Amino acid sequence: MAQPRRPSAGSILGSLAPIAVVIGGAAVAFAYTAGWFSPQRLTPDKLVDAFTPATGEPLGHRKNHAKGICFTGTFEANGAGSALSDAQVFTRGQFPVLGRFNLGTADPNAPDATVRVRGLGLRISTPDGQEWRSAMIDTPFFPVSTPQAFYQLLLASASKDPDAMKTFAAAHPEIAAFGAWADSAPWTGSYAEQRYNSLNSFVFTDGSGADHTVRWSLLPAVPPVAVSPDELAKRGPDFLEQEITERVRGGPLRFTMVVTAANPGDPTADPSKSWPEDRRAVEVGTLIVQQIEAERNGPCRDINFDPTVLPTGMRTSDDPFPAARSSAYAKSYDRRTAEASSYPRTATDTKP
Ligand code: HEM
């Protein structure tokens, strides 16, 4: 058998070169991702930092939508969604759901009557091992057109400069429509009475291979009843989770899921722009909220409702938000799970 030849120093260095390139490349990529080369670049860290409330970062909690209540239930698909996407979730049947009603605030102790935006995180799992995760809010459109503008909005709203919001609004006129909605839309006394909207657009592919750019909404079965914020404040700081717990104890709660398809030319990349009312809308099934679960150490604690976790038959569109959201949610998730020793926050709680 021939002896292997002893490698020369040159050939050893040569063989290490590709490794050095890989490590060096990874270091450069890391520095790039961290934003070291371009201080103006928006990074997940900057986005997440910008949510920090004046009261300080609430350790162990979601860095936005920190207050909420978990639930489990079922998505009952009626089969009609298969016209838009061949994802298994749209075939007629029942699929398990994990969800979370929540408030658009970074303060987990904010009184419910002080938070304008309510949300719903949803995960539907299917037997093919896939998941559809989504996080929706009750506003009809997003306040701004781009993730960069959203970051600027967070900075402006936290700024001590009394003109910060005025300056922001002048540069981002689309915020006026959101302001008008926030001032005029009725408040309600229940998570059950809200309509929750994806706002971001996604691309569904049907069984014939045709693409449809869509947004979706959950429409409440319970008719909304307007209640003034002053009246709601009298119901206590946590009336929303108390109300929904009581309501679901009395029987399951339903929302109809409607998927709306864009026409060519509709603004698919800008969630601050609604689509005209006459667009094709398909009722694809019903979300049934069956049981309210513990929030603190319950099944929602360790889930990230990342809107880019999609089954085959769905993908992201030209809307830049889902990618930005995905990176920010991952950062928030990393931070809050690393802070687990601070959560639960009371001595009587124990981690599972
Ligand atoms: C660039 C824009 C956005 C940023 C940076 C952002 C950031 C965040 C962060 C950091 C979280 C906490 C994630 C976690 O720890 O699990 C969160 C949660 C949430 N976001 Fe966003 N968000 C953005 C846009 C949106 C939009 C457009 C919607 C809805 C249409 C939305 C709805 C929600 C909801 C409902 C939750 C709570 C989900 C849960 O219960 O875990 N967000 N967001």
For residue 347, pLDDT beyond 60:
no
Distance in Å, CA 322 to ligand 1 centroid: 10
Contact residues of ligand 1, CB 6 A cut-off? 47-48, 62-65, 68, 100, 102, 119, 121, 135-137, 142, 147, 150, 198-200, 271, 304-305, 321, 324-325, 328-329, 332-333, 336
pLDDT one-digit tens code per residue, 112-146 = 999 999 999 999 999 999 999 999 999 999 999 99
For residue 167, pLDDT beyond 80:
yes
Residue in the block written with tokens 């694809």: 284
In this predicted model, which residue has the larger pLDDT, 55 or 158?
158
Burial (Cβ within 10 Å: 0-12, 13-18, ≥19) of residue 56: exposed
pLDDT at 350: 47
Whether the CB-CB separation of 93 and 50 falls below 8 Å is answered with no
For residue 15, pLDDT beyond 70:
no
Of 198, 188, 296, 283, give the one whose Cα is nearest residue 240: 188
- H or E, element range at 10: helix 9-33
Going by alpha carbons, the residue nearest to atom 39 of ligand 1 is: 121
pLDDT at 341: 85
Average pLDDT over residues 45-66: 94
pLDDT at 79: 98
pLDDT at 340: 84
Residue type, position 286, single letter: T
For the ranges 3-12, 56-65, 316-325, the maximum mean pLDDT occurs at 316-325
pLDDT one-digit tens code per residue, 90-109 = 999 999 999 999 999 999 99
pLDDT one-digit tens code per residue, 280-337 = 999 999 999 999 999 988 999 999 999 999 999 999 999 999 999 999 999 999 999 9
pLDDT one-digit tens code per residue, 243-255 = 999 999 999 999 9
pLDDT exceeding 70 applies to what percent of the chain? Answer: 86
Distance in Å, CA 35 to ligand 1 centroid: 22
Output the pTM of the full model.
0.89
Q: Band the pLDDT of 343: cuts 50, 70, 90.
A: confident
Query: Interior CA angle at 305 toward 299 and 311, to 5°?
Result: 110
Q: Band the pLDDT of 36: cuts 50, 70, 90.
A: low
Of 245, 181, 261, give the one whose Cα is nearest residue 213: 261
User: Terminal CA-to-CA distance of the chain, rounded, Å?
Assistant: 60
Distance in Å, CA 79 to ligand 1 centroid: 29
| DSSP per-residue string spanning 185-235 | SPPBS-GGG--EE--S-EEEE-TTS-EEEEEEEEEESSPP-B--HHHHHTT
Residue type, position 68, single letter: G
For the chain, what is the mean pLDDT?
91
pLDDT one-digit tens code per residue, 200-221 = 999 999 999 999 999 999 999 9
Whether the CB-CB separation of 103 and 121 falls below 8 Å is answered with no
Of 156, 113, 137, 141, give the one whose Cα is nearest residue 64: 137
Q: How far apart are CA 47 and CA 25, in angstroms?
A: 25
Q: Categorise residue 60: left if φ over 0, alpha if ψ from -120 to 50, beta otherwise.
A: left
Paired tokens of 337:
């799970």
pLDDT at 155: 97
246: Cβ–Cβ under 8 A, 6 or more apart, which residues? none
